[in-house]
Amino acid sequence: TSPSSVPEVPVEKSTSLLSSSVKLGDEEEEVIDFDCKFEDAPWEIELTEPVVKWFKKNRNKNYKICVHVVQRLRTLASGYWNERNHKRLTGPSMHLYEANLTSGQRILWEVAVNLSERLNQFQASPSSSLSSASSLSANNQSAGTIHAEMIRVWAIVEDHDNLDREIEKVEKSHQRDSY
């Protein structure tokens, strides 16, 4: 596939996975709220538009895989990175990683620097304190915005045969600085 035929991946700033809850079947009372913001985790999670669409499409028909993805994202957000969820992909010009879900399913992600909604909320609130706030640069504080490293989730790949195509989409988007 030529680089010009690979569509660009738009990025949507989102710390929330979904805005609704999902019930597993009619009889089960277990409800997983996908509106989880990982507020207690050290790493913020940012989802691209295709990932948000993937969750909206799959939250009812593929509930179990959605739960598994959320669990894996919570693991990443907690800072626990091992060979199953932090495998660096060779080839991409950027530092792109994959997290295994099953033998063929993957989450594509990177560590990116972006505006931190969570840290900016702490800065906006005069009564709140944050232990790491002292390490932030004076430029960021005086400008009223704080940027931080966070996990940007580029894609949920359900079939390993589609992995290379998804990597191409991410690279093309990254090269265009579409974000």
Q: How confident is the model at residue 10 (pLDDT cuts 50, 70, 90)?
A: very low
Contact 116, 44 (CB under 8 A): yes
Contact 13, 52 (CB under 8 A): no
Which one has a higher pLDDT value, 74 or 92? 74
- Segments in the chain forming alpha helices (H): 49-58, 63-77, 117-124, 138-143, 163-175
How does pLDDT run across 54-70, given as a tens digit for each residue? 998 988 888 888 889 99
pTM for this one?
0.71
pLDDT in the model for residue 36? 56
Place of tokens 């990025």: 11
Band the pLDDT of 173: cuts 50, 70, 90. confident
Neighbour-count burial of 89, counting CB atoms closer than 10 A to its CB (0-12 exposed, 13-18 middle, 19+ buried): middle
- Identity at 63, one-letter amino acid code: Y
106-144 pLDDT, tens per residue? 999 999 888 887 777 766 555 544 444 434 444 444 456
Distance CA 2, CA 48 (A): 23
